[in-house]
Structure 1
Amino acid sequence: MTNVDERVSMPRTAGVGQALPLLAASCMPVLGSVLITPVLPQISQHFASTPAATVLVPMIVAVPALMIALFAPFAGQIADRVARKRLLVVALTVYAVVGVAPAILDDLQGILATRLLLGVCEAAIMTVATTLIVDYFPDDRRRNRYLGLQAVTTTLAATVFIAVGGTVGAHGWHTPFWIYLAGLAIAVPVAMLLWEPERPVRTESAQIPLPRLPWGRLALPLVVTLVGGMSFYVLIVEVSYLVVGTGVAPEETGIIGAVAAGASLATAAGGLVFAKVAHLTPARLLPVAFGLQAVGMVVIWLVDGLGGVVTGGLIASLGSGLLLPTLVVWVVAEQPFEQRGRVSGLWNSAFFFGQFLAPLVATGLATALGGLSIAVGVVGGLALVAAVTTMLTSRSMTAAA
């Protein structure tokens, strides 16, 4: 009979040298969405004569999220069964190659094809990076600190790259895609500084099947995560169009980038807040996070002009920064080693499927209701429903956690 030692022993103690490459790698999926946000209006103008361009151009940002939703569970399976570090290095390298490809393309379908491949790489990167953070830092205090820093780092990086995307976008919409080469720069320290976590010791060579996932306890957190992905992402995708809708010209990428960067800074601030209040349960933090998102989106709806977009975007983004690490702790952090990769994959699948739905829902609502700001307000109403639901189901949430 095969015995399994449930303890996971780390041959080395992880520290800042391991945290930094993982935090940097975590930025790549976020950059995949925000980097080209300031130039979306330019891309829309460039492909205006292409059939269905009004739908296809926003999909340049949204399609990677769909691929993450579809492939993150498979990445989690590989991470649990084979090797986490190796998967991360390969994914970062391929990410850089396919990410930069649109810089030399002038075909909308070809660009969308590269974005599909980019999303597959992002699925592996985000799943493995989050899993390794939990692997390397098993004690609650350090783990929660680095998960909070993960949200802060990704949003601060997003702020920088939004600003950079807006600046270099003034030289043409192709230019920002060159920045995806950053994936190669991150793959090098990942390969040099990380190691494969030691797996549970088996006294015999027989293969032991992975334990079944607790679907009953995961169902509610994954549904809430899907809603959170949509409310988190809707402003990232639509902020440039909201700014242009106030009268700013599409060519003024500096202004568009500045507004998007301000929202990203607010998201980073939310991540810093989480680091201070991580001792509170997700049942207490999630209603606050969703509530801030709801208030901000309703402000965008009800307050006309650029001031409404800026003010509402800051409030909603503060909630988003608090929401992201809270969801990770709730769903992933407490899982045992043997299923942590798969649960991380499922969490990323739910979150990024919500992100994929965000532009589709926003576009559909804007068409039906006669304005994008109204559509954002409706998504804010959905965030409010999530806030009330998580508040009312706090007992079940505590049990699931």
Structure 2
Amino acid sequence: MSTGMPRGAPTAGKATLLFVATLTVMSAATISPSLPSIEAHFAGTPDVELLTRFVLTVPALLIALCAPLAGSIADRFGRRRLLIGTIVLYGFAGMSGLVLDTLEGLLVGRALLGMAVAGIMTTGTALAGDYFQGRERDRFMGLQAAFVGFGGLVFITGGGLLAEIHWRAPFAVYGIALALVPAVILYIREPSRPAPGADPASDRPAAGGWRIAVTAVFAAAALNSVAFYLIPTQLPFLLQALGTESPSQAGLAIGALNLASAGSALVYGRARGRVGIMGMFAAGFGLMAAGYGLVASAESYAAVVVAVAVSGLGLGTIMPSLMAGAMAAAPLAVRGRVAGGLTASIFVGQFVSPLVSQPWIEASGYPAAFGGTALGLAAMASGAGFLAARSRRGTVRVSPI
């Protein structure tokens, strides 16, 4: 670990970064079980079906728009102050749903939440890249993804239970973010500035091919998010179609994805050392494809839970691969901007997802949408597997990471 954390407090600093990472999954997942109730409450609003999905995904649009700017600010002016300010904004914007009483007002509050997440996720990813290197970075990224998974389980399940009380109740959970501010002030320090044109964190000059590798990671992140967000945006409605009306059961089903994701992320560092990053992508997309195929054929609540858990195993492999790959490829001097670009790519996919899935579902139904997505994920798994095999034979160098 670098001297960016106070001497004698590396464990506290690491724990702080891990808990900060859980805020990103809270941004949408906490209120996912409330979506049907929100739609019912605002039933008289024009286009309520689509706008209700936007309550979940409009933060993604603002994150995508603001993350590159957040990355530039983090590189130019530092990570720490931006992280503190955006955590404070996150807490108050997230809790705005407790008092706002129009669907348009909810969307404004969610937009401010998205601006906050852009700063949190960008600075958190960049700081992880700054503080760790090599195998240690892989292990930390896996641990970070596991915390996100466990956080998703807690927040989605808790959101489902709170939604049983009232659809507004899950918005109170966002106030937890404010409790992290003292820990960030105490345990997070600004990393040392890099020398121009080099990456002292990895002891190598900036490789000329890093832009190609980073662009490929961005594309994979966006496509993965389009597929993944079928679950939080559409699964509660799929469960209703199968006869499961309870928000808490929807929360538990989505929480199964996060639990499985956390489990696979915990072994990420060890597994990547054996099969390489393209092998991890192949396994991750393959598991997600299998899970979505199972969702498409599910006819009961139990079958949906199993299918979603299989998808989670894949997601827990893909997310740390995206983050570790981008941070390993990027020179330290532009790491904030690369983290911002990765954040933007992830959330562009999340925002686009309901725009793609909702018309598809209305035209063809839930099985067709989940089954078609499974085929797309299988194609991505095949491509990654091909590159992994070629790389092992030494016939192609897939990236500088």
> 1:205 is matched with which residue?
none
Please point out which of 116, 127, 134 is paired with 1:121.
116
CA contact (8 A) 1:72 1:127 kept: yes
- Counterpart mapping for 1:273-284 below 5 A: 273-279=267-273, 280-284=275-279
CA contact (8 A) 2:264 2:316 kept: yes
SS in 2 for 1:296: helix
Please point out which of 18, 23, 29 is paired with 2:18.
23
> 2:345 is matched with which residue?
350
Please point out which of 215, 222, 225 is paired with 1:219.
215
> 2:237 is matched with which residue?
241
Instruction: Give the C-alpha shift of residue 211 in structure 1.
Output: 12
Aligned mates of 2:132, 2:247 — CA distance in 1: 40
> 1:230 is matched with which residue?
226
Unpaired stretches in structure 2, ≥5 consecutive residues:
197-205
**Deviations 1:341-367 (CA, angstroms, capped at 9, x unpaired):** 111111111111111122222212101
> 2:163 is matched with which residue?
169
Aligned mates of 2:195, 2:216 — CA distance in 1: 33
- Counterpart mapping for 1:314-329 below 5 A: 314-329=309-324
CA contact (8 A) 2:4 2:189 kept: no
Please point out which of 243, 252, 257 is paired with 1:258.
252
Instruction: Give the C-alpha shift of residue 164 in structure 1.
Output: 1.1
SS in 1 for 2:222: helix
Are 1:306 and 2:270 an aligned pair? no
Moved more, 102-111 or 162-171: 162-171
Instruction: Give the C-alpha shift of residue 79 in structure 1.
Output: 0.8
Please point out which of 69, 82, 87 is paired with 1:87.
82
* Identical-pair percentage: 31
Instruction: Give the C-alpha shift of residue 259 in structure 1.
Output: 1.4
Instruction: Give the C-alpha shift of residue 191 in structure 1.
Output: 1.1
> 1:380 is matched with which residue?
374
For the structure 1 residues 192 and 12, does the alpha-carbon distance in structure 2 shift closer, same or farther, using more than 3 Å as the test? Answer: closer
Report how many residues are paired: 383
Unpaired stretches in structure 1, ≥5 consecutive residues:
1-7, 203-209
**Deviations 1:257-285 (CA, angstroms, capped at 9, x unpaired):** 22122221111112123133131311111
Aligned mates of 2:15, 2:3 — CA distance in 1: 22
Aligned mates of 2:123, 2:348 — CA distance in 1: 18
TM-score, normalised to structure 2, is: 0.90
**Deviations 1:317-352 (CA, angstroms, capped at 9, x unpaired):** 110111100111122234221011111111111111
Instruction: Give the C-alpha shift of residue 397 in structure 1.
Output: 6.7
Please tell me the root mean square deviation across aligned C-alpha atoms, in Å.
2.1
Please point out which of 182, 187, 211 is paired with 2:181.
187
> 1:3 is matched with which residue?
none
TM-score, normalised to structure 1, is: 0.90
> 1:144 is matched with which residue?
138
Are 1:133 and 2:120 an aligned pair? no
Report the AA paired with residue 33 of structure 2. Answer: P
> 1:399 is matched with which residue?
399
CA contact (8 A) 1:11 1:198 kept: no
Report the AA paired with residue 161 of structure 1. Answer: F
Moved more, 319-328 or 212-221: 212-221
CA contact (8 A) 2:210 2:329 kept: no
